[in-house]
Amino acid sequence: MSKLWAGRNAGATSALADDFNSSIRFDCKMYKQDILGSVAHAKMLSKQGIISEGDAEQIEEGLLSILEDIESGKLQFDMSCEDIHMFVEAELTRRIGDAGKRLHTARSRNDQVALDIRMYLREESEKVVSLLKSLVSVIADKAEEGCDAIVPGYTHLQRAQPISFGHHLLAYAQMFMRDISRVEDAVKRMNVSPIGSCALAGTTYETDRAYEAALLGFDSVSQNSIDGVSDRDFCVELMSAFALIMMHLSRFSEEIILWSSWEFKFVELDDAYTTGSSIMPQKKNSDMAELVRGKTGRVYGDLMALLTTLKGLPLAYNKDMQEDKEVMFDSLETVIMCLEIFAPMLGTMKLKRENMYRAAQEGFINATDLADYLTKKGMPFRSAYKITGEIVAECIAKGKVLDSLTLEEYKAHSDIFENDLYTDISLEACVAKRISEGGTGFASVNNQIKAVRNFIAKKQ
């Protein structure tokens, strides 16, 4: 196709250069935004008397017919076009003639592409938020199921204190709820219209930027035309939010992989979300969780790639910025894919309560509670800590656990000990007693589930 910008450059570009320069194979994703943006632009131009109403009507009709034909599959993208903007404009002119050539008045591809990306990401972000909401709901349901399942809580991957499994899951609900607000927050700053910034300096025509922005659902217009065309902060912000979502999914995946191992056996993933081995018949692999963990690297990489592309770019538009799209789309699509698979994988995961409980009975994870028992009966915490340590050492030497040491053996360490110590250090009591706000106590876990569900309900 002959180039819309042919004029100044008489010599033909090489086929290699055309191919290298072109972005249509990936920016064609933004066809809808490009077309709707152009419809609004034509409306604004005619309202301002810059083009005639008749031309604007033809343009709008032509653009909408292009949209329809793309969506029905009747019209294919012409990969010899430089980008989606050129394709739509050329196709419009092919359909309606001269009126089509008036569309590009008072704008440039520089503000056009900035507009299209914002519109595209605004819409896609809604999908991400809705997937995050579904995931948080699944977590709340699983947490309810696992509220009374007692499991060791870990620090340094060493058994630390008994907790409710639901409590552990709800930590992830908090992360994903922050992710929801982070994406929503990024969208707020994204929802500023750059159109009308033109190539970089604004335009000599009397445009109405606010009107055009309002037609397209933007909250405001950008306040500096150079910034309008050069800014990709909104991509970086969103991709940072995506990197955090992936980091959370990756930590969660890692735990699910560990919990599914023979060593832990706290959970079992549904067959639908696992694979077998081609050689080892006993294997049930957590491939989905591993892939989510693995894809996190890609999403971080996409973010770093864009930051590095932008670093040191002089104002205003530079072709380097065309590199924003592939990494942006890749990180967006990866996050969407991972969220889509993660929620049902988690939802169908079976809890193995007896194994959790058994693990919690080993490893002296009620030692803190034994020390607290002494402290509550008047002994200074440091002394209680020391005595408890000695008792643990004695248990290890005798192959016992705290619950199986006799009262006489306890009394040998301190005569504060009475029979009530056994109920005090039972795993159920250890969990139930952690009544502090946000603690693992069963009541607190139930409150958290309510709060999480409330958060999601308010977002509907």
Question: DSSP labels for 153-210?
Answer: EEETTEEEEEEEHHHHHHHHHHHHHHHHHHHHHHHHHH-EE-TT-TTTT--SS---HH
Tokens 């050492």 -> residue:
393
Q: Taking the complex as a whole, how short is the minimal distance between the CB of residue 326 and ligand ARG, in angstroms?
A: 10
Span from 172-180, 315-323, 420-428, 452-460 in contact with ligand ARG (CB under 6 A)? 315-323
Span from 92-100, 187-195, 212-220, 317-325 in contact with ligand ARG (CB under 6 A)? 317-325
Which entry of 52, 220, 261, 277 is annotated as an active-site residue?
277
Span from 89-97, 108-116, 269-277, 434-442 in contact with ligand ARG (CB under 6 A)? 108-116
Q: Assess 102 for contact with ligand ARG (CB under 6 A).
A: no
CB distance 34 to 116 below 8 Å: yes
Q: Which two tokens stand for residue 184?
A: 């929503």
Q: Assess 322 for contact with ligand ARG (CB under 6 A).
A: yes
Active site residue 277: yes
Q: Which two tokens stand for residue 199?
A: 């190539």
Question: How far is 96 from 51, CA to CA, in rounded Å?
Answer: 15
User: 99 or 113: whose CB is closer to ligand ARG?
Assistant: 113
Q: Assess 317 for contact with ligand ARG (CB under 6 A).
A: yes
Coil, strand or helix: which one is 14? coil
Binding-site member from 66, 113, 121, 216 for ligand ARG (CB under 6 A):
113
Pairing of strands 192-193, 220-221: parallel
Which entry of 156, 220, 331, 414 is annotated as an active-site residue?
156
Q: Assess 235 for contact with ligand ARG (CB under 6 A).
A: no
CB distance 266 to 359 below 8 Å: yes
Q: Taking the complex as a whole, how short is the minimal distance between the CB of residue 432 and ligand ARG, in angstroms?
A: 59
Binding-site member from 132, 321, 351, 431 for ligand ARG (CB under 6 A):
321
240: enclosing H helix or E strand: helix 233-260
Q: What angle do CA 238, 240, 242 make, to 5 degrees?
A: 70
Q: Taking the complex as a whole, how short is the minimal distance between the CB of residue 317 and ligand ARG, in angstroms?
A: 5
CB distance 78 to 4 below 8 Å: no
Question: How far is 66 from 342, CA to CA, in rounded Å?
Answer: 37
Span from 105-113, 207-215, 421-429, 452-460 in contact with ligand ARG (CB under 6 A)? 105-113
Q: Burial letters for 281-293: b for 16+ Cβ neighbours within 10 Å, e otherwise?
A: eeeeebebbeebb
Binding-site member from 43, 104, 109, 142 for ligand ARG (CB under 6 A):
109
Site residue total, ligand ARG (CB under 6 A): 10
CB distance 128 to 183 below 8 Å: yes
CB distance 259 to 266 below 8 Å: yes
User: 42 or 198: whose CB is closer to ligand ARG?
Assistant: 198
Cβ neighbours of residue 135 closer than 8 Å, sequence gap 6 or more: 176, 339, 342, 343, 346
Q: Assess 110 for contact with ligand ARG (CB under 6 A).
A: yes
User: 109 or 133: whose CB is closer to ligand ARG?
Assistant: 109
Q: Taking the complex as a whole, how short is the minimal distance between the CB of residue 31 and ligand ARG, in angstroms?
A: 13
Span from 141-149, 314-322, 361-369, 437-445 in contact with ligand ARG (CB under 6 A)? 314-322
Q: Assess 35 for contact with ligand ARG (CB under 6 A).
A: no
Q: Taking the complex as a whole, how short is the minimal distance between the CB of residue 235 and ligand ARG, in angstroms?
A: 12
At 69, the amino acid letter reads: D
Coil, strand or helix: which one is 284? coil
CB distance 246 to 299 below 8 Å: yes
Q: Assess 456 for contact with ligand ARG (CB under 6 A).
A: no
* Contacts (CB under 6 A) with ligand ARG, residues 73-92: 83
Tokens 């949209």 -> residue:
67
Binding residues (CB under 6 A) for ligand ARG: these are: 23, 27, 83, 109-110, 113, 317, 319, 321-322
Active site residues: 156, 277
